[in-house]
Amino acid sequence: MLTERNMRMTRQRKVILEELRKMNNHPSADELYERVRQYLPRISLGTVYRNLEVLSELGEIQKLEISGTLKRFDGNPKKHYHIRCMNCGRVDDAPLDFMKNIENSLLGATKYKIMGHRLEFIGLCPECFEQVSARWQGKKLKIGS
């Protein structure tokens, strides 16, 4: 996609993209910056931010603007959904194939020109759920008191 738009794949952009695609935790720009600095010690945080924006605009990555958290980035550019832990902020892919054509189902049902959509699932990640369960184990919950 970069070459289609006459943009060079700079060394910095390549390292940022490669490192992001290795990570499956949907990192923030700051987290990715720390990782990229291992290979490019002189890179600035601003350069990482700018390149993430460019890669997002080109469709090489996804920029996740999930409520209640920092912007996060996903190396998988294909449309898919995410689930966020309400406790620690962890973000994972939500494996929902049946919702692939949700935008298409609105065509003809509305006069809006659909430009995209966001669907966020929230819950507790396995680690946080285990902590909460351990905390409440053996205690009776009193509802309505």
Binding residues for Zn(2+), by number, are: 85, 88, 125, 128
Binding residues for Fe cation, by number, are: 117
Mean pLDDT value across the chain: 85
**Which of 64-73, 74-83, 88-97 holds the top average pLDDT?**
74-83
The more confident residue out of 56 and 69 is 56
Give the pLDDT score at 145. 44
CA distance 52 to 63: 8
pTM: 0.74
pLDDT tens digits along 93-140:
988 876 667 777 787 788 888 777 778 889 999 999 998 888 877 565
Residue of 86, 46, 44, 42 whose CA lies nearest to 68? 86
Binding residues, by number, are: 85, 88, 117, 125, 128
Q: Which domains does the chain have, with CATH numbers?
A: 1-75 (1.10.10.10), 79-139 (3.30.1490.190)
Are 32 and 23 in contact by the 8 Å Cβ rule? The answer is yes
Helix axes 45-57, 29-36, angle to 10 degrees: 110
